Structure 1
Amino acid sequence: MTSKLAIGIDIGGTNSKFGIADRKGNIIAQSRIKTQQYSDYFSFIATLKKEIEQLHPIDDVIGIGVGAPNANYYKGTIVNPPNLPWKGVSRFAEEVEKVFGLKCVLTNDANAAALGEMVYGKAKNMKDFVVLTVGTGLGSGIVINGDVVYGKHGFAGELGHTLVSANGRHCACGKRGCLETYVSATGIRRTVYKLLADYTDPSMLRSISFDDLSTRTITEAAAKGDKIAIEAFKYTGRVLGMKLSDFVVHTDPEAIFLLGGLSKAGDHIFTPAQENMEKYLMPLFLDKKIQLQPSGLKDDDAPILGASSLVWKYLAGSAGES
């Protein structure tokens, strides 16, 4: 088999990114479309086909990898995604194969990110690790003995919806107190606004509306010594670290990688998270020196590389591609 290109598609609540990449992780071409413009996934896929063919010929493409929220790897379906306009069960992979005439592998977007880390990032020589995608929400991909954990029904690894507080913040999934309501771009914004209400300290964040507040703004404020911003990161890092101590017991990973907007805060988030992970870790694991570090993938490239890595892992690999 000589084909050396793969299409990677990452479906987000606002934008969907897509591109064509080679086996070495070079992105040949990429673009994006607005997800919310498409009320059904059939028109969405038809538009993707036109857009991708305008970017680059697909004659040498071996297959298509798709990362999406609430995706079922076994069935190739997207099931009631909270942030997408398509409700019910979308037979997405089947429709992609019909429209493109290429094999399609579909998985949760965070699982795709974990595969991308293994194929292109810092986990190239690792068999046991966890990737957390901390953007608007919190997704996770768990790799054990070199394989992504999917579970019996295809939905394993939803660490963002593990419990922090039974009577905690309302989550889009319908539960209360989920981890992603505290540790995510949305979560830290909620924390900032609670701190602004609880304390009277001056803060450059007071003049910013909730909708305009971003992780970048909070990070910049923390770098300038803003007390509210610093406390928001300490709180977020404490919650994350406590939950990471649980994740370590479950999977005994060599490393945990953070990918996404919140990870760009650097030491503001990594230091309290590492400290609290070690503080609450079962003593048996303390000498294992679990690494907590930023992803080795560039944020702009990660969604496409993560999705395209599905092709190399599951299609090219099974066909003997080197």
Structure 2
Amino acid sequence: MLLKRISPAGQWGLLLLLSLILGFGLQAFHLPAALLLGPMIVGVVMGLGGASIRIPSLCFKLSQGVLGCMIAQSLSPGILTPLLADWPIVIGALVATLLASGLSGWLLVRFSALPGPTGAWGSSPGGASAMVAMAGDFGADVRLVAFMQYLRVLFVATAAAVVARIGLGDEAGQHAAALVWFPSLDWRFLGTLAIALTGIVLAPRLRIPSGALLVPALLGAGVHSSGLMTLQIPEWLLAIAYALIGWTVGLRFTRDIVLLALRTLPQMLVSIIGLMVVCGVMAWGMTKVLPVDLMSAYLATSPGGLDTVAIIAAGTKVDMSFVMAMQTLRLLTILFTGPAMARFISRHAGKPPKQALR
């Protein structure tokens, strides 16, 4: 394939150049999360084109740490207030999402060639990286789980960004115009980087899924809300983090993985779109009973990755605390219920167990 003939240095240069063109091109049209979507789309195209380059795991985790600090600026001790005040509705939405994902996984396994554990973990609406990391321990084909999870991330990120653009209208342009790319920095910038690094150091020791994002978010929120230090995250650093996350997702879409999943791709797409529609209906319902706007409810229930939802939320005027509280609560619930759901689907989907597609 054409890209295989290009040296790794040439592939990196092409990836960077095309991502800059598409990312800033989408931003010119005031599309939220343009600097995530542009690199993600370029990564998908290059991955399918045979690119051999990959984003190092350390760079991806560092990007999640920076994103965690960005989230921390919007968090406060009052994050639990909306959850506790309306806990029956919050729990109802959470249970409905879990049941919808479980039904989606059951139908996917029942009417496709996917083995049970693979369909179950691939359909789980939690943090994509956490689901992929856990899937292998429960007999799932990690390649297909990763493909399903990141395919849904791609769909959800694109749909959420478009919905946000429609909902924001001219406000998106005002927000983009107000960006200061290279502000003056001081010692607080170094302190912010130190907090971002804690996720890489502590998450493996504490065995916290998505810890590279969640640990800096919680630690940074405590430091920021207590007044000890104001976090400093310049736009250029966020842009780098967005690009690295987008490339990590996009470059996973290799030709070999797509060919492996081709037999069940139609069922996967129906499953993803169906789950997105169910979550969208729940978001609309939440706006009728809770004092929350539609965009906040949509992102809070959206079955995408925690990091991509946070990036989109940061570029829109939504209730970040509500969105992240709902997303984090769902991730933690999936981590506890996922193994049981995978076993149930494997046993009751009505098919003999398989280890992988051939």
Q: TM-score range by the shorter chain?
A: under 0.3
TM-score by length of 2: 0.23
TM-score by length of 1: 0.25
Give the structure with the higher percent helix.
Answer: 2
Which is bigger in relative contact order (C-alpha 8 A, separation at least 6)?
Answer: 2
Give the structure with the higher percent strand.
Answer: 1
